[in-house]
Amino acid sequence: MLRRIRLSVALVLLFALVFGASSVESAAKFKWEDWGPHVDTIIMPIVKDSEARRIAFERGESIVFPGLTRPADIDKLKGSSNVELTQVLGFHMFYVCFNMRKAPLDSQVLRQAIAYVTDRDNIIRTLFKGYMLPMTSFVPQSSNYYKSDVPTYPYNPAKAKELLDKAGYKLDATGKNRIDPKTGKPLPEIKFFTPTYEVAPTSAEIGRMIAEAAQAIGIPIVPEPMDFPVMLDKLDRSEFDMYALAWGLDRDPTFLYDFFHSSFDVEAGYNRPGIHNAELDKATEALFYAVDQKGAKTAADKAQAILAEQMPYVPLYSRPYIDAWRTDLVTGYVPQPGFGAAESSNYWTPLNIRRVDRTGKPIEGGTIRWLLQEEPKNLNPLVMSSAYEFDVYRKITDSLIRMHPETLEDMPWIARKWDVGTWNPEPGKKGTVITFYLNKGVKWQDGVEFTAEDVKFSIDYAKEQQVARLLSATQDIVKTEIVDKYTVKVYFSTESYWHLYNASPILIPKHIWKDVKDYKTFEPWKEPHPKVKGLTKLIGLGPFMLKDYRPGEYVTLVKNPNYWHIKPTAK
Amino acid sequence: MGFRSYLLRRVFYAVIVLFVILTFNFILFRLMPGDATKMIIDPKFTPEARAMLRKQYGLDDPPLKQYWNYITSLLRFDMGLSFSTRRPVREELAERLPNTAVLFLVTFILDMLVGISLGVYAASRRDTFADRFVVGAGLFAHAVPGFFIQLMLLLLFGYYWPILPIHGTMSAPPPDGMFLRLLDRMWHLVLPAGSLVIMGFGSWALYTRNTMLEALGQDYIITARAKGIPPRDILYHHALRSVLPPIVTIIFMSLPGAVSGAVITESIFSWYGVGKYLLDATLQMDYPAAQGAFYLIALAVIVSNFLSDIAYGLVDPRIRVGAGVSR
């Protein structure tokens, strides 16, 4: 136990050494508030080249530079006196997956031995100059569901050899390969798939490094970089031995159910390792159908403990979100665990961000220039899929529930409160019913009042139209019911704590969308608003409104004068 | 053979080529491994949602039905909806084409003017320092990777001496007034177009120089010299004119670049064009988008070849006659 704690401390220290203490400083300097917005305009220039983005930031053409990934940029900007880098742990996991359906990687000992020869620290130091956080559990450290006290596999080739020897994997006469005790023959070649060097150089290099380390102890792993679509095809058909890829995850640990429950070991299912473990199934089911947070936490802990023994994956590292800010021009950014300070899921920075005057004092009004790395091609909220589209849209929209910027706990927002209860969809069967109580006086950006009708419409529309990306969220919804103008109930056929989030839809205005027959081809940002000049049909409840989108050039957002949470004194 | 029948034969060939290209275009994307829905890697994307997406895209239809839909749609210039954006491909291409065309045409004209002039100049001063300089500079610019030249220019004029814009086709937001907007656009063209001219003038210069040297060695040039015609007249009225047909062909053959664009240039200078669109569509297995872009390029190639054939026929009547004889 003591060794595990030592390891965790060492990993955190390594991370802290790399980044220094700037994030702590930024958190201390600025106290977020839930009123806003404070700037009049946000201009988002679209700059695709990473070199050009850094130059635009250094020239002051843009004062927010989100999502830094290149160590060279980070090193360069870290030394600038008028630049602050905020960095927080992300909901991200890079992992190595084993195919447990077939020999030889159906052997737990072999998987554990490979985990022992995986030198995370060296990989992170060599390939990422230290800008990644080593991962040892199956939930990222940024999550409230992360369990630290699970068995870990620190780099230790001697321990790996000892494990193999003890389990009967003796070296053959050449001393280069081990004999499989089950077959009495040398271990067959184990192919390690990664994307190619051209597409993902670091992933391909990780493949080479792990293969070399494994070969050194007699496990014949051979790296095999391949075209990404080919690789995905093979993974979907389970035609692999092992591979390395990354997941972008979420605050909630329900992905453990999708990734490791035996029912998802189907073609194109996400149980790619093919793990079948009754105890794990029970734990992940308990997680997915938990009726409260406490139950979810207990189940997530149990699942992580089992996974750490079974090792279907070797979790390698988690990518932090690093964003750069021109401190001579801007303040008020809010680093949020798991989401970074400038990432699209962070609703708090757009609300709090403000310009500073020459003395560094925050001022009201003004313009913020906020870099966009790619084209936000489609601004239809039911179709959009890329992070760059959400980067724009999430400044325009708002939600019923918000995540606290520090604790990530749910906090009331447009819904001033909610109840989670049960009902009987059929005799003898229990379902969940969520009741949202909405704030009064919340308006769409065109001035129309937001009511329970809009919530009901948003859910019903997504379900009726079978919106592909909301299918999982809406599949268990049986019906919605308006109690009064500001109260709405959502009924689910099954019982689960997570239905609260499934019931919090993408909010779309009924008075605009009720006439939209095909959601897929609707281009709300291109159609003028039927009544309000200067607006388009892309209207939300958020702090900023879309003013102008010039494809390939920039997006301009302006302050929403009808925003329901403008600070009373700033009105 | 008369010019009219020559023209008809060319039109017939062009239609056949277009049909073959479209068919290959269809088959090629279906032969690629994987399918578009597998490019959406999202833990919450269920197999059911993926199946629905396949149905929505028409990927569940039999191949022949897909082929028929594809051909009939393209003939109506309906390129379908992009998988990744769900927007009409025709609209997406139309947004980008003007930018690519402007960048290309400006570069093309400058390249041609600079390259041909230098080529003629170098040929007229064979084996002098000027000749060696043009050949050396042309080879160097042609050999150095384009992205390296562009990144160097970006650093030089964007960072160390920050006088030029480094991204986009306009300022964000652009200035008021048409004249100022035009100036703003031209200002944004300087780096991408300038870098492309540096990268491209060499091939024009070397090609022109070599064809000119060949022409300058011909008997009729020696005769012209013997007759005492001024060297300048020999150079421009005799030699240059005789090398015009191949140069005209090259000019038309280069036109398809106007729609295929320069992928790297568009990425480095955030130029909203067709080249980057095609690259993204191919990488994302966005069939309709990639097929639409290829269709546009195929059309451009065929039309350019057709125009080149006509121009060649007009510039050099022997081509038409020759075609008739061979038949």
pLDDT (tens digit per residue) in B159-216? 899 999 999 999 989 999 999 999 999 999 999 999 999 988 888 899 999 999 998 8
Size of interface A-B (CB pairs under 8 A): 145
Could you give phi then psi for residue A92, rounded to 5 degrees?
-145, 145
What string of H, E and C letters represents the secondary structure of chain B?
CCHHHHHHHHHHHHHHHHHHHHHHHHHHHHHCCCCHHHHCCCCCCCHHHHHHHHHHHCCCCCHHHHHHHHHHHHHCCCCCECCCCCCEHHHHHHHHHHHHHHHHHHHHHHHHHHHHHHHHHHHHCCCCHHHHHHHHHHHHHHHCCHHHHHHHHHHHHHHHCCCCCCCCCCCCCCCCCHHHHHHHHHHHHHHHHHHHHHHHHHHHHHHHHHHHHHHHCCHHHHHHHHCCCCHHHHHHHHHHHHCHHHHHHHHHHHCCHHHHCCHHHHHHCCCCCHHHHHHHHHHCCCHHHHHHHHHHHHHHHHHHHHHHHHHHHHHCCHHHHHHHHHC
Is the Cβ pair A375, B272 closer than 8 Å?
yes
**Residue B38: which of A229, A266, A523 has the nearest Cβ?**
A229
Is the Cβ pair A554, B84 closer than 8 Å?
no
A198 touches chain B (CB under 8 A): no
Residues in chain B closer than 8 A to A43 (CB atoms)? 172-173
State the Cα angle at A307 between A305 and A308, rounded to 5°: 65
Q: Taking residues B233-248, what's their average pLDDT?
A: 83
Name the residue among B132, B274, B136 with its Cα closest to residue B202.
Answer: B136
**Residue A49: which of B50, B173, B270 has the nearest Cβ?**
B270
Among A residues 449-478, those touching chain B with beta carbons less than 8 Å apart: 466, 468-469, 471-473, 475
Is the Cβ pair A521, B52 closer than 8 Å?
no
Model pTM score:
0.81
Residue of B nearest to A59 (CA): B159
A72 touches chain B (CB under 8 A): no
- The two three-digit tokens of residue B263, written as one number: 């992928």
**Residue A49: which of B39, B47, B268 has the nearest Cβ?**
B268
Is the Cβ pair A48, B167 closer than 8 Å?
yes
Instruction: State the CB neighbour count (10 A cutoff) for residue A396.
Output: 22
Is the Cβ pair B168, A380 closer than 8 Å?
no
What is the rounded CA–CA span in Å between residue A282 and residue A218? 36
A118 phi-psi bin (left φ>0, alpha ψ -120 to 50, beta other) = beta
A48 touches chain B (CB under 8 A): yes
Query: What is the structure's pLDDT at A324?
Result: 96
Residue B38 predicted with pLDDT over 70? no
Query: What is the structure's pLDDT at A173?
Result: 87
Judge contact between A261 and A242, C-beta under 8 A: no
What is the rounded CA–CA span in Å between residue B102 and residue B114? 18
pLDDT (tens digit per residue) in A184-217? 999 999 999 998 887 788 999 999 999 999 999 9
pLDDT (tens digit per residue) in A55-85? 999 999 999 999 898 888 999 998 899 999 9
Is the Cβ pair A59, B158 closer than 8 Å?
yes
Q: What pLDDT band is residue B296 in, cutting at 50, 70 and 90?
A: confident
Is the Cβ pair B159, A55 closer than 8 Å?
yes
Residue of B nearest to A227 (CA): B33
What string of H, E and C letters represents the secondary structure of A313-352?
EEEEEECCEEEEEECCCEECCCCECECECCCCCCCHHHHH
- The two three-digit tokens of residue A558, written as one number: 């302006």
Judge contact between A64 and A350, C-beta under 8 A: no
Among A residues 203-232, those touching chain B with beta carbons less than 8 Å apart: 227, 229-230, 232
A9 touches chain B (CB under 8 A): no
What is the rounded CA–CA span in Å between residue A137 and residue A151? 9
Pairing verdict, β A367-369 and A41-45 = parallel
Residue B36 predicted with pLDDT over 80? no
- The helix (run of H) or strand (run of E) holding residue A415 is strand A415-426
Residues in chain B closer than 8 A to A248 (CB atoms)? 42
Residue A15 predicted with pLDDT over 80? no
Residues in chain A closer than 8 A to B161 (CB atoms)? none
How far is A233 from chain B, CA to nearest CA, in Å?
5
Residues in chain A closer than 8 A to B88 (CB atoms)? 521
Residue A444 predicted with pLDDT over 90? yes
Is the Cβ pair A249, B43 closer than 8 Å?
yes
pLDDT (tens digit per residue) in A329-372? 999 999 998 889 998 889 999 999 999 999 989 999 999 999 99
- Mean predicted lDDT score pLDDT of chain A: 90
